[in-house]
Amino acid sequence: MDSPGSQAIDCDVHAVLPSIEALLPFLPAYWREQIGQTGFKGPTGRWYPPGLPTSERPGLRPADGSPAASRVEHIQRDVLGQAPHPSHAILNCDCAVESLHNPDAASAVSGALNEWIAAAWLAADARLRASIVVPSQFPELAVQEINRRAGNPGFVQVLLPVRSEAPYGSRNFRPVFAAAARHGLPVALHYGGLPGNPPTPVGWPSFYLEEYAGMTGVFQTQLISIIAGGVFDEHPGLRLVLAEGGFAWLPAMLWRFDKNWKGLRREIPWVRRPPSDYVREHVRLTTAPADAPEDPAQFRDVVAQLGSDAMLLYASDYPHAHGDSASDAVWSGLSAELRGKIMSANARALYKL
């Protein structure tokens, strides 16, 4: 997708932690020694098998064998230096801190990750912004981490893995949303997560394909839970970003959700408007992958069915590749005005850029 005048904002770019050693300078002495001496490799954020293009586009791996997207130069060259030449990129550092059962370790590693992001990325290039990594399995500690980072304007949202140990609309997560709302930060739910429970509601899948294709169901569950739980009723200014989860599934889910709300809304009387109203007001989705029709007319229909031109956010999802069906050609079939919103205006409004 092209964009006139480099106004594009890339809303999902990955900063990959090369190894736990990169965090040592940012860890408290106890954890530096503990991690150094135990040989703990750190949590892994590799939701995708490392050799597959969903983890890393072929050909990107640097000669020294370090992972793609593990240094700011990679992103300067492969993202900021390539069409559509984004003026800003939002970094999401997938690192499965939610898999750590020791709350102090989870907190220390989250804090060190954010320090590393601030020092190695945000301070290195003014075009970069980042999501705050939080120990989401310990909501109180997650709130502390949000409070610590919110003063740095380079951090523009709170990152939660879409897979969690309970649906995000449940009350125990509410302090995390409250903290994000208090600081005016959107919350991004991103593909993946290692909370310890299976990635499907019916147990462990046999194949990577099942987990990967089925992740849209996890996004749906979280979105339904957050709206039913009244998160947006409590925090009318809060925005939610669904990152790397596709968007073409959304219209069908909203038809069902609205229909069922009409007859069951007494259960959740705080939800006073059809769920689709909340989604259009509060929810944004990144464009990679789109998982949308290859036929331009059908593609336009799906985008129109979203019911708002403020919802899509351009993302390259660097360094991942999803073999997306939504080629540049189908994006070009959208009106120039809508493309301008997707490429730039929607993200500018969301992140106040």
Partner 1 sequence: MAKHIVSTVAEIPPGTRKLVEVAGRSIGVFNIGGEFFALRNRCPHQGAALCTGQLGSAVTSPGPGRYEVDRAGEILRCPWHGWEYDVRTGQSWFDPKGVRVKAYETAVAPGSALVPPATGLLPGPYVAETFAVSIEEDYVLVEV
Q: Which residues bind partner 1 (CB under 8 A)?
A: 171, 229-231, 233-234, 261-266, 268-270, 274
Burial class (CB in 10 A: 0-12, 13-18, 19+), 83: exposed
250 and 197 in contact (C-beta within 8 Å)?
A: no
Cα distance between residue 168 and residue 221, in whole Å: 9
Examine residue 319 and say whether the peptide bond preceding it is cis (omega within 30 degrees of 0): yes
- Nearer to partner 1 by Cβ, of 178 and 353: the residue is 178
Cα distance between residue 227 and residue 90, in whole Å: 25
Cα distance between residue 325 and residue 311, in whole Å: 20
- Nearer to partner 1 by Cβ, of 174 and 300: the residue is 174
- Nearer to partner 1 by Cβ, of 167 and 274: the residue is 274
Please, which residues have CB within 8 angstroms of residue 305's CB and are 6 or more apart in sequence? 251
Cα distance between residue 208 and residue 229, in whole Å: 31
Report in angstroms how near the CB of residue 283 gets to partner 1 at its nearest.
18
- Nearer to partner 1 by Cβ, of 296 and 307: the residue is 307
Q: Residue 336 carries which side chain, given as an amino acid letter?
A: A
Report in angstroms how near the CB of residue 178 gets to partner 1 at its nearest.
12
245 and 301 in contact (C-beta within 8 Å)?
A: no
Report in angstroms how near the CB of residue 270 gets to partner 1 at its nearest.
4
Report in angstroms how near the CB of residue 243 gets to partner 1 at its nearest.
25
Cα distance between residue 52 and residue 103, in whole Å: 32
Report in angstroms how near the CB of residue 223 gets to partner 1 at its nearest.
16
Instruction: List the structure tokens of 334.
Output: 């959208």
**Angle at CA of residue 328, ends 309 and 339, nearest 5°:** 25
**Angle at CA of residue 119, ends 116 and 121, nearest 5°:** 90
Sheet with 155-161: list strands edge to edge: 9-14, 88-92, 128-133, 155-161, 187-190, 240-243, 283-286, 312-313
Report in angstroms how near the CB of residue 172 gets to partner 1 at its nearest.
13
- Nearer to partner 1 by Cβ, of 234 and 301: the residue is 234
- Nearer to partner 1 by Cβ, of 144 and 225: the residue is 225
- Nearer to partner 1 by Cβ, of 247 and 278: the residue is 278
CA torsion sign for 268, 272, 274, 280 is: negative
Report in angstroms how near the CB of residue 282 gets to partner 1 at its nearest.
15
Report in angstroms how near the CB of residue 228 gets to partner 1 at its nearest.
9
Report in angstroms how near the CB of residue 210 gets to partner 1 at its nearest.
33
- Nearer to partner 1 by Cβ, of 2 and 234: the residue is 234
Please, which residues have CB within 8 angstroms of residue 187's CB and are 6 or more apart in sequence? 157, 158, 159, 160, 176, 177, 180, 238, 239, 240, 241
- Nearer to partner 1 by Cβ, of 154 and 230: the residue is 230
